[in-house]
Copies of this chain bind each other. A is one copy, B any other.
Amino acid sequence: MRATMMYTAGDVRVEDAPDAALQDPTDAVVRVVRTCICGSDLHPYHSKEDAEPAFMGHEFLGTVEEVGSEVTGLKKGDLVVAPFAYGCGSCVLCREGLPTSCPQGGFFTSAQSEAIRAPFADYNLTKLPGDVDETLLPSLLTLADVYGTGWHAAVKAGVNPSTSVTVIGDGAVGLLAVLSARQLGAEQIILMGRHQARTDLGREFGATDVVAERGEEGIEKVRELTGGLGTHTVLEAVGHMPAYEQSVGVVRPGGVISRVGVPQYDQASVGFTSLFGPNVTLTGGPAPTRSYIDDLLPGVLGGTVEPGKVFDRHIGLEETPEGYRAMDQRESLKVLVTP
């Protein structure tokens, strides 16, 4: 099969690779119908040092091609969507809704390919209606990661109709954090971002204010918009230290910073002046999107939300190197790939 491989930073190629195949009786092999490039794929695109080629991609929906002998709920031809992080489905952490911490779990790593092996298929693959309109596929694909991740940020922050919200980052996750906060009833949603095409989509998704300024100036703007106090919740969808500092700057005393941008740092200020003194809570992590698919699917199928609007470029599998380049250059917000 054809598959996207990353060599060193900036060097992405589409190559022949061994066909995806069953390994365990609980596996399925899925023919990828839609996949995409994630903002987090840009981290190795910037920093990968070793030259050992690595498969890429963790978001996919597709049709089941083959199932292992212990898979009972799926059959060849079923249209399914997967979470970017899989779990076993039966351990206590999976049952508590946290497959991202499943000891037998992991992250999908070869979705930007023609086909992919899915472990614990009965648990991880959610069946979609077979006759779903093709125009819904981009939105359905966002359930794999970016929509579920934005939702996770908002849920972990405890967003509700009485909480004000700041969203830091106008990437796909940030914009879908806006959408999620709106769905959860937030009335004031301040989007911090500076790319107008993106912040315009953020307004469409429910942002009530956009703050383009960064650093102290950005903090000042958010405080002006919130009676000097900051917002009850901050959804941080970037992962770099300035975004953390911005979060601390705009959160209201007693509020919550919910991070879903993968932190590109280890140490941060958590002492008296940053988090402790004002009783600020720091939460978040990799989203267990599997746990949210059932809740979010009806809105997507019913057309009440259209998270797939984050895709602003559609390419074929052979063009993924160009897709990486376009996202890296910020020519594209998020690239949809049809193998």
Interface residues of A (CB under 8 A from B): 92-93, 96, 98, 100-101, 156, 227, 229, 253-254, 259, 262-263, 265-286, 288
Partner of A101, one of B271, B274, B279: B279
* A286 CB to nearest chain B CB (Å): 7
User: What's the Cα separation between A100 and B277 when bound, in Å?
Assistant: 8
User: What's the Cα separation between A262 and B273 when bound, in Å?
Assistant: 11
Q: Is the pair B272, A270 in contact by a Cβ cutoff of 8 Å?
A: no
What 4 A-B pairs are tightest by C-beta distance, nearest first?
A279-B285, A101-B253, A266-B271, A281-B283
Q: Is the pair B254, A276 in contact by a Cβ cutoff of 8 Å?
A: no
- Having A92-B229, A279-B283, one finds 7 other A-B pairs with CB under 8 Å, namely A93-B229, A262-B276, A265-B271, A267-B269, A275-B282, A279-B284, A281-B281
Q: Chain B residues near A92 (CB, 8 Å)?
A: 227, 229
User: What's the Cα separation between A266 and B248 when bound, in Å?
Assistant: 13
Q: Is the pair B277, A286 in contact by a Cβ cutoff of 8 Å?
A: yes
Q: Chain B residues near A93 (CB, 8 Å)?
A: 229, 253-254
Q: Is the pair A269, B271 in contact by a Cβ cutoff of 8 Å?
A: no
Q: How many copies does the complex hold?
A: 2
Q: Is the pair B286, A279 in contact by a Cβ cutoff of 8 Å?
A: yes
User: What's the Cα separation between A280 and B276 when bound, in Å?
Assistant: 16
Q: Is the pair A286, B282 in contact by a Cβ cutoff of 8 Å?
A: no
* A178 CB to nearest chain B CB (Å): 21
Q: Is the pair B253, A276 in contact by a Cβ cutoff of 8 Å?
A: no
User: What's the Cα separation between A253 and B87 when bound, in Å?
Assistant: 14
Q: Is the pair B281, A286 in contact by a Cβ cutoff of 8 Å?
A: no
Q: Is the pair B284, A282 in contact by a Cβ cutoff of 8 Å?
A: no
Q: Is the pair B254, A98 in contact by a Cβ cutoff of 8 Å?
A: yes
Q: Is the pair B276, A284 in contact by a Cβ cutoff of 8 Å?
A: yes
Q: Chain B residues near A268 (CB, 8 Å)?
A: 267-268, 270-271
Q: Chain B residues near A273 (CB, 8 Å)?
A: 266
Q: Is the pair A282, B279 in contact by a Cβ cutoff of 8 Å?
A: no
* A21 CB to nearest chain B CB (Å): 29
User: What's the Cα separation between A270 and B272 when bound, in Å?
Assistant: 15
Q: Is the pair B229, A279 in contact by a Cβ cutoff of 8 Å?
A: no
Closest residue on chain B to residue A98 by CB atoms: B254
Closest residue on chain B to residue A92 by CB atoms: B229
